[in-house]
Amino acid sequence: MPVKTKIQREIIAWFWVGLAFLLINGTIGQARVIPSGSMEKTLLIGDHLIMSRIGYDAGVPFTNWHVSLWRNPKRQQVIIFKPPFAPDTPDYVKRVIGLPGDSIDIHDGAVWVNGQRLVETYTTGASEPYEMHLPYKVPADCYFVMGDNRGNSYDSRWWGCVPRKDIIGTPVIIYMSLNVGEDPWQPGQIRERFFAYANVILHPGTVRWKRIFQTF
């Protein structure tokens, strides 16, 4: 086979590989890592997730261009979204508390939805309203979200609801979890992240083995 033909076939093969990657990354699933403790005890710092975008969102990888699809999140479902107040920052992970049209109130350390106390077995700490004006009615096509670690979560209590167009998916499974602190998972910390992964070889105890393959 001529060398030119081999090169052409190689280029075509890599083109299809790249196209498949973009399709999967843009419409099916992506990986995420938890950088803060706002979702403890459900999600820990250093948890590595596979996120499903199926039915929620489709977009062009490595860009901010995306479009919402037909699925909508349910109450108490964990979602991943672009923070509406800073869309160019890393995605947020929170839990849906209020659906469009719901009335939200927070008192006595608990959340009340449409006059009924919400049963929450996943939270850490009491729920406080902080500076919210209550009761709060969730606008149309919007979702009220909170972190499970109620005393350490920057969520809808501070900056309002999440528009449906900013929701991009939901976590499916934890495929890795490393107990190495917050620094490696902050934006731009490439060196620290590399050392965190390399450290696993010498110190496998930093892996939270029991969390691997937990599903949502």
Q: What is the pLDDT of residues 69-124, one digit of tens each?
A: 678 999 999 999 999 998 888 899 999 999 999 999 999 999 999 999 999 999 99
Query: Does residue 160 register a pLDDT over 60?
Result: yes
Amino acid code (one letter) for 188: G
Residue 33: give the domain boundaries.
Answer: 29-211
Assess if residue 183 is contained within a domain. Answer: yes
Question: What pLDDT score was predicted for residue 70?
Answer: 74
Question: What pLDDT score was predicted for residue 186?
Answer: 92
Positions marked active-site? 38, 94
Question: What pLDDT score was predicted for residue 62?
Answer: 59
Show Cβ contacts of residue 177 under 8 Å, excluding neighbours closer than 6 positions.
44, 46, 47, 48, 207, 208, 211, 212
Assess if residue 114 is contained within a domain. Answer: yes
Assess if residue 123 is contained within a domain. Answer: yes
Please state the domain count of the chain.
Answer: 1
Show Cβ contacts of residue 13 under 8 Å, excluding neighbours closer than 6 positions.
none
Least confident range from 22-26, 102-106, 127-131: namely 22-26
Assess if residue 22 is contained within a domain. Answer: no
Show Cβ contacts of residue 109 under 8 Å, excluding neighbours closer than 6 positions.
126, 127, 128
Which pairing describes strands 47-52 and 57-59: parallel, antiparallel, or unpaired?
unpaired
- Asked if residues 46 and 179 have their Cβ atoms less than 8 Å apart, the reply is yes
Assess if residue 174 is contained within a domain. Answer: yes
Assess if residue 146 is contained within a domain. Answer: yes
Assess if residue 63 is contained within a domain. Answer: yes
- Asked if residues 95 and 157 have their Cβ atoms less than 8 Å apart, the reply is no
22 compared with 193, residue with greater pLDDT: 193
Average pLDDT over residues 141-151: 97
Write the CATH number for 173. 2.10.109.10
Question: What pLDDT score was predicted for residue 13?
Answer: 56
Q: What is the pLDDT of residues 103-116, one digit of tens each?
A: 999 999 999 999 99
- Asked if residues 165 and 59 have their Cβ atoms less than 8 Å apart, the reply is no
Assess if residue 12 is contained within a domain. Answer: no
